[in-house]
Amino acid sequence: MPDLKETKAQRIERLKRSKNPWDHLDEIRQFARDGFGSIPPEWLGTYFRPWGIYTQGDGLGVVGGKNGEGKSVPYFMVRIRIPNGLLTSEQARTIADLSDHFGNGVADITVRQNVQLHWVRVEDLPELLERLWSVGLRTTGACGDVARNITGCPLAGVHAHELADVSSLALALDKELGGNPDFYNLPRKFKITITACPDWCSYPEINDISFTAVRRPRNAILPNAAPTGAAPSDFEGAGFHFSSTSHQSPVTNHSSSSTGRRPALSLPNGPLVTAHPSETGFSLRIAGGLSTEPHLAVKVNAFIRWEQVLPVARAIAEVFRESEVLRQSRDKARLKFLFLQHGWTADTFLAAIESKLGYKLDPAAPEQLPASIHRDHMGVIPQKQPGLFTIGANVIRGRITPSQLRVAADLAEHHGDAHLRATPMQNLLLINIPESRVTSVVQELVANGLPVETNAFVRGTVACTGSEFCKLALTETKSFARWLTEQLEERFPGYQEDIKIHITGCPNSCGQHWIADIGIEGKKIKQDGQMVDAYYFCVGGSVGQFASIARPVGYRCPADQVPDAITRVLAHFHAHHHHAEPLQKFLARHSTESLRSILSAQPAAQTEFVPRDLPSDRVPHNIEDRP
Cα-Cα-Cα-Cα dihedral sign, residues 35, 37, 38, 44: positive
Which has the minimum average pLDDT: 84-93, 498-507, 567-576? 498-507
Residues 67-125 have pLDDT tens digits of 667 778 899 999 999 999 999 999 999 999 999 999 999 999 999 999 999 999 999 99
3-state secondary structure 22-74: HHCHHHHHHHHHHCHHHCCHHHHHHHCHHHCEEEEECCCCCCCCECCECCEEE
Provide the β-strand partners of residue 213.
Answer: 282
Residues 18-47 have pLDDT tens digits of 999 999 999 999 999 999 999 999 999 999
Query: How far apart (Å, rounded) are the C-alpha atoms in residues 84 and 36?
Result: 33
Query: How far apart (Å, rounded) are the C-alpha atoms in residues 230 and 152?
Result: 18
Does residue 484 have a pLDDT over 90? Answer: yes
Query: How far apart (Å, rounded) are the C-alpha atoms in residues 59 and 196?
Result: 40
214 sits in which H/E element: strand 209-217
Residue in 510, 519, 532 with CA at minimum distance from that of residue 587: 519
The three-state secondary structure class of 614 is coil
Does the domain made of 167-258+277-357 have the CATH classification 3.30.413.10?
A: yes
316 sits in which H/E element: helix 309-321
pTM: 0.86
Long-range contacts of the stretch 435-444 (C-beta < 8 A, 24+): 435/387, 435/388, 435/389, 438/380, 438/389, 438/391, 440/415, 441/391, 441/411, 441/415, 442/380, 442/391, 444/407, 444/411
Provide the β-strand partners of residue 381.
Answer: 390
Which CATH fold topology does 458-606 show?
A: Sulfite Reductase Hemoprotein; domain 1 (3.30.413)
CB 156 within 8 A of CB 170: yes
Kindly report, as residue ranges, where domains of CATH 3.30.413.10 are found in the chain: 167-258+277-357, 458-606
Which has the minimum average pLDDT: 130-134, 394-398, 565-569? 394-398
Of 354 and 239, more confident: 354
Which has the minimum average pLDDT: 241-255, 268-282, 410-424? 241-255
Does residue 255 have a pLDDT over 80? Answer: no
Q: Report residue 603's pLDDT band, with 50, 70 and 90 as the boundaries.
A: confident
Does residue 199 have a pLDDT over 90? Answer: yes
Which has the minimum average pLDDT: 172-176, 222-226, 425-429, 600-604? 222-226
Query: What does the pLDDT read at residue 482?
Result: 92
Residue 235 has φ and ψ, to the nearest 5°, of -65, -40
Q: Report residue 3's pLDDT band, with 50, 70 and 90 as the boundaries.
A: low
Does residue 249 have a pLDDT over 80? Answer: no
Looking at residue 147, the DSSP 8-state letter turns out to be B
Residues 366-395 have pLDDT tens digits of 999 998 677 889 999 999 999 999 999 999
Of 102 and 229, more confident: 102
HSE-CB at 17 with a 13 A cutoff on CA atoms is 8
Q: Report residue 510's pLDDT band, with 50, 70 and 90 as the boundaries.
A: confident
HSE-CB at 604 with a 13 A cutoff on CA atoms is 7
Cα-Cα-Cα-Cα dihedral sign, residues 10, 15, 16, 18: positive
Of 538 and 619, more confident: 538
Q: Report residue 232's pLDDT band, with 50, 70 and 90 as the boundaries.
A: very low
Query: How far apart (Å, rounded) are the C-alpha atoms in residues 478 and 468?
Result: 8
Query: How far apart (Å, rounded) are the C-alpha atoms in residues 293 and 273?
Result: 46
Query: What does the pLDDT read at residue 376?
Result: 84
HSE-CB at 357 with a 13 A cutoff on CA atoms is 20
Which has the minimum average pLDDT: 165-179, 270-284, 285-299, 567-581? 270-284
Query: How far apart (Å, rounded) are the C-alpha atoms in residues 54 and 66?
Result: 18
Does residue 583 have a pLDDT over 60? Answer: yes
Query: What does the pLDDT read at residue 396?
Result: 86
Beta strands 501-504 and 518-527 are parallel
Q: Report residue 292's pLDDT band, with 50, 70 and 90 as the boundaries.
A: confident
Long-range contacts of the stretch 525-534 (C-beta < 8 A, 24+): 525/556, 525/558, 527/558, 531/63, 532/558, 532/559, 533/474, 533/475, 533/476, 533/480, 533/558, 533/559, 534/475, 534/558, 534/559
Burial of 266 (0-12, 13-18, 19+ CB in 10 A): exposed
Does residue 566 have a pLDDT over 60? Answer: yes
Does residue 270 have a pLDDT over 60? Answer: no
Does residue 496 have a pLDDT over 90? Answer: no
Query: What does the pLDDT read at residue 37?
Result: 97
- Rounded alpha-carbon distances, angstroms, from residue 194 to 45, 66, 124, 170, 299: 31, 39, 34, 6, 14
Average of per-residue pLDDT across 452-456? 91
Query: How far apart (Å, rounded) are the C-alpha atoms in residues 590 and 596?
Result: 10
